[in-house]
Amino acid sequence: MGHPSTRSSGNKQKVNLPFLSTERTSGWLKPFGGVAAVLIIITLFLFWDSTKPAMTLFSNDGPLGSISTDAIEMPGTFFGYWHDLNWLGYEQPSASPGIYMALGLLLQKSVLYLKWCTPICLIILGMSAWFFFRTLGLRNVACTIGAIAAAFNMEVVSYACWGLPSRSLTFATTFLAGAFILRALQSRPWPNLALAGICVGLGLMEGYDIGALFSLYIAAFVLFGFVIKPLETGKQTALGQALGRGATGVAVVAIVAGLAASQTMSTLVGTQLQGSTSGQGNNSAAAKEQQWNFLTQWSLPKMEALRIIVPGFYGYRLDTPRPYDADKLRSLEGGNYWGAVGQDPMLEQIEEVEEVIAAFGQRNVLPGELAQVMGGSNEQAAQLMHLVQNKGQFLQRHSGSGEYAGVIVVFLAFCALLFAVQKRTEIYTATERRMILFWAILGLASLLLAFGRHAIFYQFIYQLPFFNTMRNTIKFLHPVHFAIIILCGYGVEGVVRLAKQEST
């Protein structure tokens, strides 16, 4: 077994770090403890200010003043409550009995909660990813790097530090569900599928519509796993029979997940789905267009996909300077975000009108002249000119998440894909190659869907249930990063195997 080594007093001494071993050790306790220690050290380094008495993490969705009120004290929130912080107040649904609530019960004090909830959630994510990679059968170092890539993925961290550490818990429960599905494909399928269902249910509790989105990917993973299982064992099983077993597995996971998250499902439907169906009762073309614009306003512009591999591309943060900055360049100061995520679709039409008006030169343009060029009535042209004059009232951009996955992480993911498709050197097994291609295809498909209104792909599934009520197609970037992290783990494994092949 290879280990890192150092020299002390002229003598070569081996440092035993099982979690960095390029082999897969039989025991799991030492690698697990080593990875946990590494994650804790990195987390403490990043969140050291939380040790200072006067400092807490920012939380947009749960600021200190709000969560310090008597109405929101645990465990009372488990039964729902009336949040009377401002004026008469408003009704809040009961807290879901998941990991997030358990952390609230554990930390109790609101200041302590804001200081350490996010770091703890990131550590939980890292350890869950480690368990997934360990279940895949990867070497210790691949599991360790995969865990670090998951815990400190910039998209996850940016959401968590914005006040949504529940997103990292949704990633964590999805990794756990994937691990139990892998175990179900090896032995004791029904108990392991039930455990996977519990994890999916926890994901629904933590992430609501994000958890529901990830559950679709877990369903696809179950089907895929049962279809390729006969190929791995060499048994001749009909495709229909394999699909039947896969469908049964999906049903088991779905039923258990539904039971586990039954308390959350009504809240999910009431707040995340019904709340985004305004105007669907009206079947006019204008109402349909308004609904489409409402649901896809937070789409990823195609050029901004480069944010995944270029850190800081298009900047960060939400606080774009006011008033309306037409050239978008003023937002570059201070690293503010200057892309187009969250931009009101009406601004695209306004830009077209401005180009037409500019073609007339410096003189004032009459509505009739504009109508003659653009078509339509004088009244419609007058409305367009009014929109141009008041374009500052439309949202120009709104994004605070960082989509940077890491150059090294993406490079390792690309290595995994490259090793899987090339035939010169057998680095992966047939099953591993299929798994790599599966996650690569899902990641690419998710990226195309994340483009939303900026491409044609989302229109193909928009009319399907769930998708026709889910807001913000940029949420499909969550599965993109999930797939990249998995491919990164495979990439580390492939690089180590290739190095060992060339050294022999």
Q: Is the peptide bond before 323 cis (omega within 30 degrees of 0)?
A: yes
Q: How confident is the model at residue 269 (pLDDT cuts 50, 70, 90)?
A: low
In the prediction, which pLDDT does 18 show? 74
Q: Is the peptide bond before 75 cis (omega within 30 degrees of 0)?
A: yes
Q: How confident is the model at residue 234 (pLDDT cuts 50, 70, 90)?
A: low
d(CA 407, CA 142): 17
In a domain, 437, yes or no: yes
d(CA 197, CA 215): 9
With contact defined as beta carbons under 8 Å apart, do 122 and 156 qualify?
yes
Q: 43-52, 126-135, 136-145, 324-333 — which is least confidently predicted?
A: 324-333
In the prediction, which pLDDT does 3 show? 46
In the prediction, which pLDDT does 162 show? 84
In the prediction, which pLDDT does 9 show? 45
Q: How confident is the model at residue 164 (pLDDT cuts 50, 70, 90)?
A: confident
Statement: residue 185 has pLDDT above 70: yes
In a domain, 7, yes or no: no
Percent of the chain with pLDDT over 70: 86
In the prediction, which pLDDT does 123 show? 96
For residues 207 and 184, the model is more confident at: 184
In a domain, 491, yes or no: yes
In the prediction, which pLDDT does 13 show? 53
Residue 502: domain span: 299-312+402-504
Digit-coded pLDDT (tens) for 95-141:
677 787 788 778 778 888 889 989 999 999 999 999 999 999 999 99
In the prediction, which pLDDT does 271 show? 57
Statement: residue 192 has pLDDT above 70: yes
Using only C-alpha atoms, the chain has a radius of gyration, in whole angstroms, of 26
- What type of residue sits at position 471? R
For residues 467 and 126, the model is more confident at: 126
In a domain, 19, yes or no: no
In a domain, 21, yes or no: no
Q: Of 136-140, 316-320, 353-357, 371-375, which has the strongest mean pLDDT?
A: 136-140
Q: How many CB atoms lie within 10 A of CB 10?
A: 5
CA-closest candidate to residue 181, choices 264, 267, 245:
245
In the prediction, which pLDDT does 471 show? 85
In the prediction, which pLDDT does 45 show? 95
In a domain, 501, yes or no: yes
Statement: residue 361 has pLDDT above 60: yes
d(CA 372, CA 269): 47
Q: 243-247, 285-289, 293-297, 434-438 — which is least confidently predicted?
A: 285-289
In the prediction, which pLDDT does 1 show? 40
For residues 25 and 322, the model is more confident at: 25
CA distances from 375 to 285, 353, 371 (A): 18, 12, 5
Q: For the residues of 263-286, what is the DSSP string, one character each?
A: HHHHHIIIIIIGGG-TTTT--SHH
In the prediction, which pLDDT does 69 show? 75
Number of domains forming the structure of the chain: 1
Q: What 3-state class would DSSP assign to 388? A: helix
Q: How confident is the model at residue 331 (pLDDT cuts 50, 70, 90)?
A: very low
Q: For the residues of 158-224, what is the DSSP string, one character each?
A: HHHHHT-THHHHHHHHHHHHHHHHHHHHHS-HHHHHHHHHHHHHHHHHHHTHHHHHHHHHHHHHHHH
d(CA 172, CA 152): 12
d(CA 16, CA 18): 6
CA distances from 482 to 32, 161, 218, 265 (A): 21, 19, 12, 24
In the prediction, which pLDDT does 20 show? 75
In the prediction, which pLDDT does 442 show? 97
d(CA 423, CA 239): 26
Statement: residue 322 has pLDDT above 50: no
Statement: residue 47 has pLDDT above 60: yes
Q: For the residues of 162-181, what is the DSSP string, one character each?
A: HT-THHHHHHHHHHHHHHHH
With contact defined as beta carbons under 8 Å apart, do 160 and 499 qualify?
no
234: Cβ contacts below 8 Å, ≥ 6 apart: none
pTM, two decimals, is: 0.87
d(CA 317, CA 401): 8
Q: 3-12, 394-403, 406-415 — which is least confidently predicted?
A: 3-12
In a domain, 148, yes or no: no
In a domain, 444, yes or no: yes
Q: What sign has the CA pseudo-torsion 250, 256, 257, 258?
A: positive
Q: What 3-state class would DSSP assign to 416? A: helix
In the prediction, which pLDDT does 317 show? 67
Q: With b meaning 16 or more CB within 10 Å and e meaning fewer, what string describes 336-354?
A: bbbbbbbbbbebeebeebe
